[in-house]
Amino acid sequence: AKEIHQLLDDEPIVTEIQFKHWQWIADYYMCTLGEVVRGALPGSFLLESETLVLPNKLDQVDEALLSDNEFLILEALRHQSSLKIDEISKIIDRKRVLPIVNQLVQKQAILLKETLHEQYRPKMEKYLRLNRAYESEAELERLLEKLARAQKQSQALLAFFQLKSQQKSRVKVNDFVKFSGISKAVIKALIDKEIFESYEIRADRVQFDVNSKEVSQIELSAQQEKAVVDIKGNFENDKVCLLYGVTSSGKTEVYLKFINEVIETGKQVLYLLPEIALTSQLINRLMAYFGNKIAVYHSKYSLNERVEVWNNVLHGNDKAQVIVGTRSALLLPFTHLGLIVVDEEHESSFKQFDPAPRYHARDAAIVLSNLHNSKCILGSATPSLETFFNTKSKKYGIAQMLRRYGDVLMPEIELVDIKEATRKKRMKGHFSEQLLEEISNCLAEKEQVILFQNRRGFAPIVECTTCGHATQCPNCDVSLTYHQHRNQLRCHYCGYHMSLLQSCQACGNNTLDTKGFGTEQIQEELLKLFPEYRIGRMDLDTTRGKYAYEKIINAFEQQEFDILVGTQMVTKGLDFRNVALVGIMNADSLLNFPDYRSHERGFQLMTQVAGRAGRTEKRGKVLIQTYNPYHQILHQVSNYDYKKMFSEQLYEREQFKYPPHVRIIRITLKDKDYNKLNEASDWFASSLRNVLKVQVLGPEYPTVARIRNQYLKNILIKINTTESITRIKNSIRRIENSFNAISQYRSIRLVYDVDHI
């Protein structure tokens, strides 16, 4: 036991239920509780990408008190002035890096360059009031008389009363200065004379502008009413309910109805979204109904802002009665949760990949909902196979809305054979004549267009046409993507970048050419094809800033762009009224990648992006360009045949034993030493085979077999749904213990991914 050094909080900042939930996440997803806590708490993040520096006053640290490892890190910092946390693993054993760095931070021997470690500081605002001594009219008159010669001061006093009666609330110093033009010196003089008093109040960091203050009444359509009744029926039987409603069927209004009922009982609501890009539209809709009871929580918020939301949730403050957020909002300290809505539940971004906890927010939401005895709605136009399967087996309930709101027609979907078009020379760049014609028609009608291409950058490959050499990342087994506006080659895995080469690194000829295309190239081609129109782009490269998403989405809503080119960010639940045409530049890239989910995903992505078109009376249109117009998924997409896709894919999953028929745990081994990794992963896989009576696949290299100079190998464990997953995890842990005892494998990193997707 160690002595208590400092009491950080006056009251617990974590609730009991929250702790139980975190424990479940740690157990189920095979990570430590500490990893869950680190992912949940908005302070004390230690990220491997964080940079360490020395503080200005180093003499405070007594070197005699440092351990050898701590000393080594400090020495290295003196020579290099800054270090990344993952660089420290070159100096000391990587498993010990984070705890040691943490120690050093606590001893204030080093600082994190990022400000994440700063203590939360509430934001204070200064206010002004009149000294109580002058409350009565008589006193006030006497005061004004006294100030008769101090003209500015009496003016200030009058202005103060004016503003106060105008605002009917407290007077902020800043507002007062702005309103009256009185200088701060005069205000100070009045404070010194004890006529004014200044005081501070804690202010909200996160504030929204409420555009429409009137509380609109939701009037549901018959289809929506029916869905509400069905969902309630399932709630009565304590079931999670899937709201399966086609794009633009009005799922959001159904959620609003339930949210409204829950907050009237004083309970909290959690509304999970897969993507930050979706928050701004939703917030506007929610604010119109619920005013300032809405709080938002996601990774673009600063530490201080997140702490503020955390505290509001913990204290059951009605400023945070409805929390809208991405994945991590699930880890907030809810005290009386009444409803969780998981919108677009099929989205794979609900699963966290790195770092641990590698949890699926939808599944963890259902567990949280059970812990709170609350309700849970999953919503989607293209449910995940797992969820739809769960409704078939009656584990979850289902409510359906198969028509669009207002009986607007689903857009007409047409396939364009680009192999044929290329043969007949009917392509302009990456555009078929058909697509160009539809775009022109649409623009002529002053309607908007969305074009979807699932890659960012200009081109994913730069290749020499003489020798065939493609420029690779030096740290990863992947080719570098060309980004034109920076004239750079960049690695999308590790961030490595270099300027574009003039000649081939292998043969020296000046015959470099690009292959494939990304959003940047499409935008570039459009600028030439439609020079008189405005073309926006939404992808990871254009949405880095805090409000970057909002800016692009608002601009497109306000019709400041005619065409929006984007990656999958444009496919999700955005609601644009004026989009008449959606073009999918290349469907094949969505369907042909080595993953058992690629068909399901392709169907979901294309159906979702198609759903952005024609949301009003006029029927929308979707063109899908493909080299293989006979692909069954493309037919299911163009016929809106989710159920056919579901039954076909489910049959295949059954044949080849994939989820939802089995559970998958993926174990990834990583090391810089190729031979050692091979040896170790063989050892691990054969131990698993010897101990477990389940199917073990691999070890196998993933598609990108080396990332950041680490080689990777995967082992897949398939577990029958009838089998106890806990027992199997325990066996895996035992094998891990023997593995860790083998000294030459100590450098190897093991990563568990339960329900890998």
**Is 241 or 356 the residue whose CB approaches ligand ADP more closely?**
241
Q: Which of these ranges, 141-149, 301-309, 475-483, 561-569, lies near Zn ion under the rule CB under 5 A?
A: 475-483
241 annotated among ligand-binding-site residues: no
CB neighbours of 688 closer than 8 A, spacing ≥ 6?
Answer: 696, 715, 717, 732, 735
Asked if 268 interacts with ligand ADP (CB under 6 A), we say no
Token digits of residue 14: 């974590």
How far is Cα 606 from Cα 590, in angstroms, rounded to an integer?
Answer: 9
Do you find a cis peptide bond into 12, omega within 30 degrees of 0?
no
CB neighbours of 743 closer than 8 A, spacing ≥ 6?
Answer: none
Q: Which amino acid would we find at residue 224?
A: Q
Q: Which of these ranges, 213-221, 465-473, 591-599, 645-653, lies near Zn ion under the rule CB under 5 A?
A: 465-473
Token digits of residue 483: 């980004």
Asked if 284 interacts with ligand ADP (CB under 6 A), we say no
Asked if 598 interacts with Zn ion (CB under 5 A), we say no
Task: Please tell me what DSSP assigns to residue 501.
Answer: P
Q: Are 368 and 21 in contact (CB under 8 A)?
A: yes
Q: Are 146 and 140 in contact (CB under 8 A)?
A: no
Q: Are 463 and 511 in contact (CB under 8 A)?
A: no
**Partner from Zn ion, ligand ADP, none contacting 221, C-beta within 5 to 8 A by type:** ligand ADP
**Is 465 or 709 the residue whose CB approaches Zn ion more closely?**
709
Q: Are 495 and 503 in contact (CB under 8 A)?
A: no
Among 18, 69, 153, 247, binds ligand ADP (CB under 6 A): 247
CB neighbours of 685 closer than 8 A, spacing ≥ 6?
Answer: 696, 698, 699, 715
How far is Cα 452 from Cα 61, in angstroms, rounded to an integer?
Answer: 56
Among 250, 325, 383, 602, binds ligand ADP (CB under 6 A): 250
Asked if 645 interacts with Zn ion (CB under 5 A), we say no
Q: Which of these ranges, 244-252, 296-304, 624-632, 730-738, lies near ligand ADP under the rule CB under 6 A?
A: 244-252
CB neighbours of 81 closer than 8 A, spacing ≥ 6?
Answer: 53, 54
We find the least distance from the C-beta atom of residue 351 to Zn ion, in angstroms, to be 23
504 annotated among ligand-binding-site residues: yes
Asked if 484 interacts with ligand ADP (CB under 6 A), we say no
How far is Cα 54 from Cα 175, in angstroms, rounded to an integer?
Answer: 41
Asked if 496 interacts with Zn ion (CB under 5 A), we say yes
Token digits of residue 405: 């709101």
Among 76, 98, 163, 494, binds Zn ion (CB under 5 A): 494
We find the least distance from the C-beta atom of residue 480 to Zn ion, in angstroms, to be 8
We find the least distance from the C-beta atom of residue 669 to Zn ion, in angstroms, to be 19
Asked if 223 interacts with ligand ADP (CB under 6 A), we say no
We find the least distance from the C-beta atom of residue 401 to ligand ADP, in angstroms, to be 7
Among 21, 172, 239, 251, binds ligand ADP (CB under 6 A): 251
491 annotated among ligand-binding-site residues: yes
Among 493, 533, 576, 701, binds Zn ion (CB under 5 A): 493
Asked if 362 interacts with ligand ADP (CB under 6 A), we say no
We find the least distance from the C-beta atom of residue 574 to ligand ADP, in angstroms, to be 9
- Nearest residue relative to ligand ADP (C-beta): 250
We find the least distance from the C-beta atom of residue 483 to Zn ion, in angstroms, to be 14
CB neighbours of 494 closer than 8 A, spacing ≥ 6?
Answer: 473, 475, 476, 707, 708
**Partner from ligand ADP, Zn ion, none contacting 11, C-beta within 5 to 8 A by type:** none
**Partner from Zn ion, ligand ADP, none contacting 476, C-beta within 5 to 8 A by type:** Zn ion
We find the least distance from the C-beta atom of residue 494 to Zn ion, in angstroms, to be 3
Q: Can you tell me whether residue 8 is helix, strand or coil?
A: coil
Q: Can you tell me whether residue 434 is helix, strand or coil?
A: helix
Q: Which amino acid would we find at residue 430?
A: H
Asked if 731 interacts with ligand ADP (CB under 6 A), we say no
Among 473, 489, 552, 580, binds Zn ion (CB under 5 A): 473
How far is Cα 107 from Cα 260, in angstroms, rounded to an integer?
Answer: 49
Asked if 642 interacts with ligand ADP (CB under 6 A), we say no
**Partner from ligand ADP, Zn ion, none contacting 342, C-beta within 5 to 8 A by type:** none
How far is Cα 685 from Cα 698, in angstroms, rounded to an integer?
Answer: 7
DSSP letters of 504-543? -TTT--S-EEEES--HHHHHHHHHHHSTTS-EEEESGGG-
Q: Are 438 and 583 in contact (CB under 8 A)?
A: yes
How far is Cα 230 from Cα 241, in angstroms, rounded to an integer?
Answer: 9
Asked if 400 interacts with ligand ADP (CB under 6 A), we say no
Asked if 479 interacts with ligand ADP (CB under 6 A), we say no
Place of tokens 């009149």: 130
Asked if 376 interacts with Zn ion (CB under 5 A), we say no
Size of the site for ligand ADP (CB under 6 A): 17
Place of tokens 């290099």: 80
Please list every residue from 577 through 636 that binds ligand ADP, using CB under 6 A. Answer: 615
Please list every residue from 163 through 222 that binds ligand ADP, using CB under 6 A. Answer: 218-221
**Is 249 or 321 the residue whose CB approaches ligand ADP more closely?**
249
Assign 3-class secondary structure to 316-375.
CCHHHCEEEECHHHHHCCCCCEEEEEEECCCCHHHECCCCCCCCEHHHHHHHHHHHHCCE
- Paired with 621 in beta bridges are 412, 581
We find the least distance from the C-beta atom of residue 712 to Zn ion, in angstroms, to be 13
Among 400, 475, 578, 628, binds Zn ion (CB under 5 A): 475
**Is 345 or 463 the residue whose CB approaches ligand ADP more closely?**
345
Asked if 249 interacts with ligand ADP (CB under 6 A), we say yes
Over the window 493 to 532, marking each residue x when it contacts ligand ADP by CB under 6 A and - when it does not, the resulting string is ----------------------------------------
The two most distant CA atoms of the chain are separated, in Å, by 97
Asked if 472 interacts with Zn ion (CB under 5 A), we say no
Q: Which of these ranges, 243-251, 309-317, 663-671, 700-708, lies near ligand ADP under the rule CB under 6 A?
A: 243-251
**Partner from Zn ion, ligand ADP, none contacting 46, C-beta within 5 to 8 A by type:** none
Token digits of residue 287: 């604010």
User: Can you give the length of the chain in residues?
Assistant: 757
Give the phi and the psi of residue 45 in degrees, each rounded to 5.
-75, 130
How far is Cα 740 from Cα 593, in angstroms, rounded to an integer?
Answer: 35
How far is Cα 274 from Cα 365, in angstroms, rounded to an integer?
Answer: 13
We find the least distance from the C-beta atom of residue 207 to Zn ion, in angstroms, to be 40
**Is 112 or 473 the residue whose CB approaches Zn ion more closely?**
473
Q: Given the rule CB under 6 A, which residues bind ligand ADP?
A: 218-221, 224, 245, 247-253, 405, 573, 575, 615
Known binding positions for Zn(2+): 464, 467, 473, 476, 491, 494, 504, 507
Q: Given the rule CB under 5 A, which residues bind Zn ion?
A: 473, 475-476, 491, 493-494, 496
